Chain A
Amino acid sequence: MMVTLGIAGLCSGLAIVGIYLVTQPMIERNRAEALEAAIYRVLEGAKTRVALVLREGKLARFESPDGSLPKEEAVYAGYDEAGALVGFAVPAEGPGFQDTIKLLYGYNAERKRVVGMEVLESRETPGLGDKIIKDMNFVGNFRDLAVEPAIAAVKGGRSGENEVDAISGATISSVAVCNIINASNSRWLDRLADAEGVAAAGNGSSPDAAVSDGTGSGGID
């Protein structure tokens, strides 16, 4: 019995590792494309973007010859047609109701506000928790949201500028999204404020560092 189970487990493991190795590069590419598209959706009005990565505790421009996204942790500065900084798109992740929620949110450092949010990956309960993606009223909470004091999910309608109206039946998922953004804010906001100079300066001087979304439809929701 034990031998059978052992062999079955081993074969199963090998099969899963095999398919993982084959499909992983394709999945990574799809994810990068989805992230690229999401950057222009959470930063309304952005037409180009520059990736910023951590170098010795400070944010610095990530230069890549083919314009691909960095593999390491990064935030993205979005610029409008005139080359002015629209805001930062920050990827963040954290525990949801069932599995890790990965999301991307837009942040305007000047006004200290979250200006957009999109869930990239989640496995929340179909029909309840997955409303954090599909319920446009909930997603709309993040179009203009103060980050100080910390974002809070409340029930029965938002009253403060830092409040998000939680989805009934999906309270845990709603709170999870807020917590993820709060945790990410405490990690990034100071660095983003410092980086404003790095990001704003020289977008025009090195146009090849900024990658256009190509379709021209970026930022229009």
Chain B
Amino acid sequence: MPSQKDSYEELVKGLWRENPVFIQLLGLCPALAVTNSAINALAMGAATTFVLVGSSLLVSSLRNLIPKQVRITTFIIVIATFVTVADFTLQALAPVVHKELGAFIALIVVNCLILGRQEAFASRNSTRVAVADAAGMAAGFAFALFLLGCIREILGSGSLFGVSLFGPNFEPWVIMILPPGGFLTLGLLLGLFAWVKERRLRASQAVGGAPAERRAA
């Protein structure tokens, strides 16, 4: 039964084992576009977290009232409302960040991660489990964005959170804060994680097949 699922398990799976960016490869558009600095990545992560958790909460608590035929439409209305709220709030409280993120705040509506969680999880599970799942996924997404943002800002601008790290003699790799830098960083990280995963799998196979199968499941 879905309601008996362990909400702690649902919370942590999004952080690493089913990380939306590194494992599921969802939501790559913002993950590549706005991670040219750590602060932008954090703001995007925070806005996505708000929308994802809010939408999952609402969708899972209303899941028995929404007719199957119009569920996608209803999810989109719910998501779009939360995105508009996030958009206005950022515009009012952090105009500089809002200007930097630009159209990508509005584009959270079409982030496949969010609609995907509503359709695949929140609409079929109890509120408690759905919110745990959403929070975990959002945290995993924010973590992935933050990691990309830190790497790209350190290499591309020689700074972190706008604080210069290497002094005036550092020659920044400008390509890292440009779009190709996003692809390079993401590609190298994906390769690194796949390599680590494979090594672990081999190591556990050498000891005995059973634990590896459990991890892969």
Interface residues of A (CB under 8 A from B): 1, 4-5, 8-9, 11-12, 15-16, 19-20, 22-23, 26-27, 30, 34, 98, 123-127, 130
Contact = CB atoms under 8 A, between A and B. Distances in A.
B103 A5 contact: no
Interface in B69-94: 69-70, 73-74, 77-78, 80-81, 84-85, 88-89, 91-93
A16 B102 contact: no
Contacts of B57: none
Contact of A34 (B70, B74, B81, B95): B95
B143 interface: no
B179 A23 contact: no
B118 to A, nearest CB: 13
Taking residues whose C-beta sits less than 8 angstroms from the other chain, chain B's interface range is 20 to 34
Contacts of B80: 12
A168 to B, nearest CB: 15
B92 A130 contact: no
A23 B89 contact: yes
A208 to B, nearest CB: 29
A16 B103 contact: no
Contacts of A15: 81, 84-85
Nearest to B93: A26
Contact of B33 (A20, A98, A127): A127
Contacts of A4: 65-67, 70, 74
Contacts of A11: 81
Minimum-distance CB pairs A-B, first 5: A26-B92, A23-B92, A12-B81, A30-B95, A23-B88
B84 A5 contact: no
Contact of B69 (A1, A12, A27): A1
Nearest to B69: A1
A30 B73 contact: no
Contacts of B69: 1
A11 B65 CA distance: 15
B91 A23 contact: yes
